[in-house]
Amino acid sequence: MTRLNGKVALVTGGSRGIGAAIARKLAEDGADIAITYTSAAAKAGETVKAIEKFGRRAIAIRADNLDAAAVEAAVSEAHAKLGRLDILVNSAGVFSVDQIETATLDEFDRVMSIHVRASFVASKAAAALMGAGGRIVSIGSNLGERVPFPGLSIYATSKAALVGLTKALARDLGPKEITVNIVQPGSTDTDMNPANGDHADAQRALMAIPRFGQARDIAGIVAYLAGDEGRFITGSAFTIDGGTNI
């Protein structure tokens, strides 16, 4: 594939799971890749090696999404070391489950910082470096639109906020021909939510296609939005969840 030849992408949280699958797919399609990671240095190194097998340049940058300055610096480093920045994928994330009676403000602030504040910071920094044709894609969740289980008040709030951020950024950046979209996975087989986990059967029971998705399913729609085919798509949410939310 050559749809992204000559492009440079930064994928936050690209060391494993959905983020790593996105980084590999964008590289397969021709882009040079920067990824960020927080603590999984070995996994980040594996992703870099996988990207390089496609003949693409790759770098891993340690940047905790809780540290706004580190996120902003990662955007600058990706641009400086790879020579340009065309695509930003806000993929770094955490999962949080707690009943409202016991949920803490500290946890609320932590999850909102990782999912929403860091995406705002990275998008602002990246947009300043992108030219016409730039792409920003955030990874949300189908739980930002529908919450079938208790205990998700913090997590669902953060993912719903990403939808609002996406639509607002699309308005702000449209005149620059920079598109902004959000991809909302459902149950996807990753370390964070394995298909053989304790709660997997309950999730499958909600799905029209009763199986977990694969990280490559999410990566495919991100690559489409990042390519020329996505040039007139902005401010949109794409839910990839096997029919959970229908």
* Nearest one of 163, 172, 164 to 128, comparing CA atoms: 172
pLDDT computed for residue 1 by the predictor: 63
Q: What is the model's pLDDT at position 2?
A: 78
- For residue 52, give the amino acid letter: E
Catalytic residue, chosen from 37, 120, 155, 212, is 155
Using one digit for the tens of pLDDT, what is the confidence trace for 120-151?
A: 999 999 999 999 999 999 999 999 999 999 99
Q: Is position 155 annotated as part of the catalytic site?
A: yes
Please choose, from the candidates 104, 73, 84, 111, the residue with its C-alpha nearest in 3D space to the C-alpha of residue 8. 84
Does residue 16 surpass a pLDDT of 80?
A: yes
> Can you read off the two tokens belonging to residue 137?
């894609």
User: Are 70 and 64 within 8 A, CB to CB?
Assistant: yes
In percent, how much of the chain has pLDDT > 70? 100
The DSSP result for the chain, as a single string, is --TTTT-EEEETTTTSHHHHHHHHHHHHTT-EEEEEESS-HHHHHHHHHHHHTTT--EEEEE--TT-HHHHHHHHHHHHHHHS---EEEE-------B-TTT--HHHHHHHHIIIIIHHHHHHHHHHTT--TT-EEEEE--GGGT---SSSBHHHHHHHHHHHHHHHHHHHHHGGGT-EEEEEEE-SB-SSSS-TTSTTHHHHHTT-SS-S-B-HHHHHHHHHHHHSGGGTT--S-EEEESTTTT-
Task: Give pTM, 2 decimals.
Answer: 0.96
Listed by start position, the domains of the chain span 8-102+112-240
pLDDT per residue over 36-63, tens digit each? 999 999 999 999 999 999 999 999 999 9
Q: Are 34 and 59 in contact (CB under 8 A)?
A: yes
Report how far residue 8's alpha carbon sits from residue 85's, in angstroms, rounded to the nearest whole number.
5
The CATH T-level fold of domain 8-102+112-240 is Rossmann fold (3.40.50)
